[in-house]
Amino acid sequence: MRNYREIELWKDVTEKQWRDWHWQIRNRITDVATLRQVVELDDAEADQIGKVLGTLRMAISPYYATLMDPADRGCPIRLQAVPSGLELAQHEEDMRDPLHEDGDSPTPGLTHRYPDRVLFLVTDQCTMYCRHCTRRRLAGVTDQPRPASDIDAAIEYIRSTTDVRDVLISGGDPLTLADAVLEDILKRLRAIEHVEIIRIGTRTPVVLPYRITESLCEMLQRYHPLYVNTHFNTPAEVTSESRQACDRLSRAGIPLGNQSVLLHGINDCVEVMRALVHELLKLRVRPYYIYQCDLTAGIEHFRTSIGKGIEIIECLRGHTSGLAVPTFVIDAPGGGGKIPVGPQYLISRSSTQTILRNYEGYSCVYTEPREYRDPCGTCSKIKSCSRSRPLIGLEKLFRGGFVSLHARHAARDERRRDREWHA
């Protein structure tokens, strides 16, 4: 991390200004000429960046810019912040909205995919526009909060949809909103009886830790139970400032989780990921997910094989604290939601025995109990027992009396359209 005063561009900035998150947002690096004052760029690179900026926004907080190595084109911070001509490449498998968030959207800015939770995009502004962003079709388009009418419509949908017990506020970055604007949204959500938990997805502890002020934390803690998920990708992002930001949130009683994206050249390395998850635990941030990079147009150069993610989990699980091991997920193209993938630990099974292996390759047999009767269906203790709600997916095979489920577009299904599949 460089001292900002050593950079000509900011040599006259006071400490008070530097630590003021409003100043940081106002002074984000958004053009090539300013960027050239902070990192080395040759003319060809500058030209390519200029072309990318014709369609996609760049914004780098001065704080995050000081983490970049000015001379190293492979610096993991720089790769996440500075546009590359590779973003202009088009591939057959690229998609604009690979997770079909727009298709599952009952009102603008709201995605309702899973049964009991919604994704609420309250702004398209971010402190920094990550080059690997999966939501680049939206992030930075206006660099503004979402219109009040959209916020009202989304809250009304949540109010009238009693299945929604969990609201994930995201964007853009919701912590680019002024405290009062964010509080108004939190207050209205908290007033809805069936909203049990609220989550905020934000990258500000990483890219602009000065945003995590005492007053923000005091406000947030009025809306518990509230969770924050942040987005560290590399241990190089852990600084004394980001440490303080996470500490403030933790002291406000907010459980913190981290969602990393597996990125080529940035963290597709067991040792980097191991260092990251250990750093996160020291910040009291639970490593929650590692995402396989999505099929979003313009980010192919960041993608790794799925096997790399599985290898990373193989080299974490058992090798270090279970608390440090995130779930590796693929957000299914087409809107299928998150699919966890990982190493196989179950080697084989019979009707009475299961053979397993551990991280060392040690294998063992677990003998099933001689007499086990599943109490499900005979007890009446649990109010929300799945027998009293609609069953989804494989639950139907376990508990719904179905003998098979079939894919909607299967040719076999077309031929058998009029046949009953229920047992």
Q: Tell me the catalytic residues.
A: 113-114, 117, 126, 130, 133, 135, 294, 331, 338
Q: Is 170 left (phi over 0), alpha (psi -120 to 50) or beta?
A: beta
Shortest distance (Å) from residue 317 CB to ligand SF4: 26
Contact window for ligand SF4 (CB under 6 A) among 1-9, 26-34, 50-58, 123-131: 123-131
Nearer to ligand SF4, 117 or 203 (CB): 203
Residue pointed to by tokens 């080529």: 264
182-185: long-range pairs with CB below 8 Å, 24+: 182/122, 182/219, 183/219, 183/222, 185/122, 185/151, 185/155
Nearest Cα to 126, choosing from 31, 235, 208? 208
Name residues contacting ligand SF4, limited to 305-344 (CB under 6 A).
none
Q: Of 146, 203, 211, 248, which lies in the binding site for ligand SF4, with binding defined by CB under 6 A?
A: 203
130 belongs to the binding site for ligand SF4 (CB under 6 A): yes
Shortest distance (Å) from residue 206 CB to ligand SF4: 9
Helix (H, G, I), strand (E, B) or coil at 5: helix
Helix (H, G, I), strand (E, B) or coil at 416: coil
Prior bond to 225 cis, omega within 30? yes
Per rule CB under 6 A, count of chain residues that contact ligand SF4: 10
38 belongs to the binding site for ligand SF4 (CB under 6 A): no
DSSP per-residue string spanning 183-210: HHHHHHHHTSTT--EEEEE--HHHH-GG
Q: Of 28, 78, 117, 135, which lies in the binding site for ligand SF4, with binding defined by CB under 6 A?
A: 135
Rounded Cα gap, residues 173 and 143, in angstroms:
10
Which two tokens mark 315? 């080299």
Shortest distance (Å) from residue 86 CB to ligand SF4: 17
Positions of E strands within 125-277? 166-170, 197-201, 226-230, 256-261
Contact 143, 124 (CB under 8 A): yes
Q: Of 41, 60, 110, 126, which lies in the binding site for ligand SF4, with binding defined by CB under 6 A?
A: 126
End-to-end CA distance of the chain: 64
Nearer to ligand SF4, 67 or 316 (CB): 67
Contact window for ligand SF4 (CB under 6 A) among 130-138, 160-168, 282-290, 369-377: 130-138
**Between β-strands 110-111 and 226-230, what pairing exists: parallel, antiparallel or unpaired?**
unpaired
Q: Of 25, 35, 41, 133, which lies in the binding site for ligand SF4, with binding defined by CB under 6 A?
A: 133
Rounded Cα gap, residues 334 and 312, in angstroms:
26
Contact window for ligand SF4 (CB under 6 A) among 82-90, 112-120, 132-140, 295-303: 132-140
Q: How far is CA 384 from the centre of its chain?
A: 29
Shortest distance (Å) from residue 60 CB to ligand SF4: 11
Shortest distance (Å) from residue 331 CB to ligand SF4: 13
Shortest distance (Å) from residue 61 CB to ligand SF4: 11
Residues facing residue 287 across a β-bridge: 258
Contact window for ligand SF4 (CB under 6 A) among 125-133, 317-325, 394-402, 412-420: 125-133
Helix crossing, 179-190 with 148-160: angle to 10°? 20
Contact 230, 203 (CB under 8 A): yes
Rounded Cα gap, residues 372 and 352, in angstroms:
11
Contact window for ligand SF4 (CB under 6 A) among 126-134, 218-226, 248-256, 267-275: 126-134
129 belongs to the binding site for ligand SF4 (CB under 6 A): yes
199 belongs to the binding site for ligand SF4 (CB under 6 A): no
Burial class from Cβ neighbours inside 10 Å (0-12, 13-18, 19+) for residue 150 reads: middle
119 belongs to the binding site for ligand SF4 (CB under 6 A): no
Contact window for ligand SF4 (CB under 6 A) among 27-35, 90-98, 122-130, 184-192: 122-130
Shortest distance (Å) from residue 36 CB to ligand SF4: 22
Q: Of 139, 177, 238, 329, which lies in the binding site for ligand SF4, with binding defined by CB under 6 A?
A: 139
Interaction mask 163-182, ligand SF4, x per CB under 6 A: --------xxx---------
Nearest Cα to 99, choosing from 136, 153, 56? 136
Amino acid in the structure at residue 104: D
Name residues contacting ligand SF4, limited to 372-391 (CB under 6 A).
none
User: Interface with ligand SF4 by CB under 6 A: which residues?
Assistant: 126, 129-130, 133, 135, 139, 171-173, 203
